[in-house]
Amino acid sequence: MKELLEKSNGLLDYSAEVLSEIVKIPSFSGDEERVIQRIKSFLDELGIENWIDGLGNLIAKIGNGERSIAFDSHIDVVEPGDLHQWEFEPFSGEIKEGYVHGRGSVDQKGGAASMITAARILKEMDYNGKFTIYFTFTVQEEDCDGMCWLWIIEKEELRPDYVVLTEPTDLKLNIGHRGRMEIELLFKGKSSHGAMPHLGINAIEKASRSVLLIQELNKNLKEDPFLGKGTITPTMIKSTSPSLCAVPDSCLVHLDRRLTHGETRESAIEELRKILPEDTEVIIPAYKKKGYRGNVYEQEKYFPTWKTDEEHPLVVAGKKAYRELFGKTPVIDKWIFSTNGVAISGRHKIPCIGFGPGDERMAHAPNEKLPVEQLARATAFYAHLPLALEKTEEER
């Protein structure tokens, strides 16, 4: 383990430079081609087998074992937002005072940089163990978490036995998070002249009464001792009417619904139907944005809850790898936000854990930056986990 840590620490400058280079390339969902090509160039320079799939995900491969494990990092980022809130240029990629600065450094190109360095170490070690190790650099996660992995599993027919998500965990070992779904409520009214509102049915008023009931529903949703409480909140409202001097004939309310353990698409819809007017249309919207390779993979915006049991071999191996590398037991935790795990584990039941550099509170925030030191620890963990997993499976 000491040798592996020394290798990771010795390549820390390399990891930081890789991260700096890919942070400098803006890569919004659906427009990731430039950063994918830059990451591919790093892999090509290292002599690591890699290819780009039909959606635009970049997949690298080490080893030829019968079992398989994938390390995943999405490489798209959100917009920087209000530039006045930034103390530095959002895509500077500057390495300064122990941090790599810029949008995407934490969410989540830091994981990608550590994956590249881990692949380099495993290549130099001539890894030929029981696992085929995949490194996936995935697209369009910020727009539609998990859709990239639905493509990998369902279209590319690549289904690893285990997956490690390298989203930021502040080097804690994460084993799940709440699910989520987007819901649109369409309230129907009847238009009349604004001077004679009693002749119409005001869709905004119907929607407003329902929003108050939704606030009460939010107080009584299920709670899980580990994952936390389910929540529901309105995030957008818009109406239509013949004119601004007319009673609105429709009103659309968009809801963000977070799902804890035991809550499903069906249960969330049923809870709403019990409190809404009978003629309310409940819609689960679909994501159907074209990717940079020109393909569309439509998905309903339902993202299931997932959690991997602490006694699962993947979690046990994660604890083992952490102890052997760092001499202590990792903190077991969960994400507050959502990840590609909603598709990998939530839909397809592939066991997942999470381990990544950076603090998730920096995700989507101004002045995003990642501690350089964490890159080396993440690299060592990714390189060592397949070995720890081999031992764990042998012991069972």
- DSSP output for 270-314: HHHHTTS-TTPEEE--EE----TTS----EESEE--EE--TTSHH
Phi/psi of residue 217, nearest 5 degrees: -60, -40
Name which of 72, 68, 156 is nearest 111 in CA terms.
Answer: 72
Cα separation, 42 vs 33, in Å, equals 14
Token pair, residue 303, equals 């993202």
Q: How far apart are CA 379 and CA 369, in angstroms?
A: 18
Tell whether the torsion through CA atoms of 33, 34, 36 and 40 is positive or negative: positive
Give the residue numbers marked as catalytic: 76, 141
Q: Are 7 and 114 in contact (CB under 8 A)?
A: no
Q: 131-138 and 67-74: which strand pairing?
A: parallel
Cβ neighbours, 10 Å, residue 190: 12
d(CA 302, CA 181): 4
Q: Dig out the tokens for 233 from the structure.
A: 């909140």
